[in-house]
Structure 1
């Protein structure tokens, strides 16, 4: 029973909430939505594929200090490894019910997520390569994968600039935020020999890097909303994101005075407020674009 509870903790299913904005954004621009595909694609990604990735990486990382949403990680067992593979299999099988193309994309995503922590590859050891691949697959690739699943389109049919461009913007956002998720793990990562980008940049350098990339990502989103949608949505994006910006600037000022504030609590706070703001905005975006709110 205790081992089962530990496995459940390492699956970190609530962590999928932080990845949900990419899915809702893809849903917002989808022209061929259907209830069955939305429910199936949402469930398989957020309750099977993402938790499988969390469990697999936890098994090989064997963290002793805080990780995403778990302040004190319980010990890992071989059962966690097999659970991650079972969850992967279920997710891919459910994806196949939508289309073979979607299942292939889900399978590729699973391979990429495993490469991040697997000792034979361990992308985590390489600061820039690990950062790039993590942001690419959790951003653009996930956006494109979700778009294919939601719409039931083939891979080539979905391969259009109107899909790639917003997907690329999600990667930029993740490239900005990813080093922040590592800023409190320097001691643990250094002990394991994982030269993450945040460790490479240093604590203060991580904040500066994130600020610059976030600014570029925001400019990109504003360009996208103004040119592909309307001014109201562009302004709304800035308003919805303002609490995240305020939190980040306050945290940045505290860390500048004392680096002890670059800790688990503040990091999870940023993740939570950012996810709340982004999810709220993209739900608003979906309602505006689909006109469901006007019915």
Structure 2
């Protein structure tokens, strides 16, 4: 959702119908389809996502993911052929992560890059194309690609943290995630470095293309997440067992709240809706 809101905030051709339709296509159909498809092939027994004890998967989950994908692409076609093609490509990329024939989850660096690219820049671009009735030439401009790259950079930093508590189960399946390669403490250090780089890049973007007020607001909104991360890192340094499901979901939940809150604020400021209401 933060990627959607970020793309919405820089959109210059807003249509309520397209905004709602794109949101439904991505968040109600395509993302759940991706989760269901990957869950079917992963067959997780331990905690995953927001589920501490996931239920056993069945073939029904697989067919549900295909139906949701089909509905998402069909609705996307109503908006434009270009948007539908992008939704289709995203679906293929998400399936490659867990499908046994490809299973990017076994390839630590390739899986990390593809996940960050498609959930970041590609999703940002896809959302922008869906929301705005612009030509691809305008959508491929630097003013769209640059913030899209920032979302990928942020995800490349945070993605290994989502794997940090699953080392045992991933290893049992033969998967080799980037977090396993880095180790528990290495995952925290890697995330800290990339997150710092991403924050500096976001600050440059907001100051250069928007205002210092937005740049300061970004830091303030992200402060709770940073404090949570540092407290967690301190505890993991003393006891690696603290790299567990509860702390990981806590970080994910807090980060999502802070990012969504900031990008809603950014959208209201950039679209001048607050001034219009006043």
TM-score by length of 2: 0.99
Which residue in the other structure is 1:249 paired with? 230
1:171 paired to 2:152:
yes
Which residue in the other structure is 1:15 paired with? none
1:100 paired to 2:72:
no
1:123 paired to 2:104:
yes
Structure 2: how far apart are the matches of 1:245 and 1:38?
31
Any runs of at least 4 consecutive aligned residues in structure 1 with deviations exceeding 6 A, and if so which?
Answer: none
Which residue in the other structure is 2:131 paired with? 150
Which residue in the other structure is 1:279 paired with? 260
- The Cα shift of 1:154 comes to 3.5
Q: Counterparts of 1:256-271 in structure 2 under 5 Å?
A: 256-271=237-252
Structure 2: how far apart are the matches of 1:152 and 1:145?
12
Which residue in the other structure is 1:189 paired with? 170
* Root mean square deviation, CA, Å: 0.6
Q: Counterparts of 1:27-176 in structure 2 under 5 Å?
A: 27-176=8-157
Structure 1, residues 160-195: CA drift from partner, whole Å, max 9, x if none? 100000000000100011000000000000001110
- The Cα shift of 1:30 comes to 0.2
Structure 1: how far apart are the matches of 2:2 and 2:263?
7
Asked whether the 8 Å contact 1:101–1:154 carries over to 2, the reply is: no
Structure 1: how far apart are the matches of 2:246 and 2:229?
13
Which residue in the other structure is 1:3 paired with? none
Structure 1, residues 63-85: CA drift from partner, whole Å, max 9, x if none? 01010111101111111000000
Any idea what SS the aligned residue of 1:97 has? helix
TM-score by length of 1: 0.93
Structure 2: how far apart are the matches of 1:43 and 1:270?
26
Which residue in the other structure is 1:23 paired with? 4
Structure 2: how far apart are the matches of 1:135 and 1:168?
10
Structure 2: how far apart are the matches of 1:101 and 1:145?
9
1:292 paired to 2:273:
yes
